[in-house]
């Protein structure tokens, strides 16, 4: 699914990464109390239409900001399927984190929520601002905090996987040459430090994608809504 989006307009993906804020991740990937028809099941966990719609609407809003008139129904259909994939992958990663024994303590959760700028007033966490923000999206503190615990749990697993990825000095020259086949002599040494970080980021993304694909291959995933089937 991601390959389809990349083929459609690859540069947009990078623009969206810049636009998406932490708050969007909070409210976009992790839905509030939901209802609606069953769209999919992931190892017995039910994903309903309201969840998919919420994620889709948040994604679409950001893409429309970039695409403007170029945002069409064909792209919207691809995006709806991607919204479901995000929810499926999130569930698999959260479940895997729990299987590995990873946990998020109450103090850790509280500290994380208190540093969210959207919940602050004059640079400090404000309980009333926090509650009003949640009310505006029809979400209770209990649901939001449960969702954030899962968000942090997923982050812990992703960091664990990313930290296992390394870049050696021996592989850098070949990787640089493959990325920049027309590079001039001396360019590699001049850009070595910056390229190492870029290449490390690429390897980490690829490793995480491969890990998720492995989880999906082993999971019991049932798409009950045929409009979301590939």
Pick from 109, 4, 88, 98: which is nearest to 46 by CA? 88
- Which pLDDT value is given to residue 138? 84
Is the C-alpha dihedral spanning 128, 105, 84, 202 positive or negative? Answer: positive
Residues 183, 226: contact at Cβ < 8 Å? Answer: no
CATH 1.10.4030.10 fits 2-228, yes or no: yes
Whole-model pTM: value is 0.81
Residues of the chain with pLDDT under 70: 1-35, 229-230
The predicted structure's pLDDT at residue 107: 97
Q: Give, in order, the Cα–Cα distances in Å from 68 to each of 6, 57, 63, 72, 77.
A: 18, 15, 8, 9, 16
Sign of CA dihedral 4, 7, 9, 10: positive
The confidence score (pLDDT) of residue 219 equals: 97
Q: Are 120 and 129 in contact (CB under 8 A)?
A: yes
Task: Tell me the β-bridge partners of 123.
Answer: none
């Amino acid at each position: 699914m991601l390959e389809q989006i990349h083929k459609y307009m690859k540069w947009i993906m990078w623009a969206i990464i810049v636009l998406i804020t932490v708050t969007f991740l909070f409210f976009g990937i992790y839905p509030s109390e939901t209802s609606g028809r069953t769209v999919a099941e992931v190892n017995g966990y039910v994903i309903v239409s309201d969840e998919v719609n919420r994620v889709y609407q948040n994604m679409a809003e950001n893409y429309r900001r970039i695409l403007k008139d170029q945002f069409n129904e064909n792209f919207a259909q691809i995006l709806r399927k991607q919204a479901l994939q995000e929810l499926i992958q999130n569930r698999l990663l959260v479940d895997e984190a729990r299987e590995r024994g990873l946990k998020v303590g109450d103090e850790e959760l509280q500290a994380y929520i208190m540093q969210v700028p959207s919940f602050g007033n004059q640079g400090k966490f404000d309980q009333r601002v926090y509650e009003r923000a949640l009310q505006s999206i029809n979400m209770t503190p209990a649901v939001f905090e449960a969702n954030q615990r899962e968000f942090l749990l997923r982050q812990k697993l992703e960091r664990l996987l990313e930290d296992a990825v390394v870049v050696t000095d021996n592989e850098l020259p070949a990787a640089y040459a493959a990325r920049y086949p027309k590079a001039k002599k001396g360019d590699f040494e001049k850009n070595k430090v910056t390229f190492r970080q870029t290449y490390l980021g690429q390897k980490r993304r690829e490793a995480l994608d491969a890990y998720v694909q492995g989880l999906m291959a082993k999971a019991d995933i049932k798409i009950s809504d045929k409009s979301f089937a590939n």
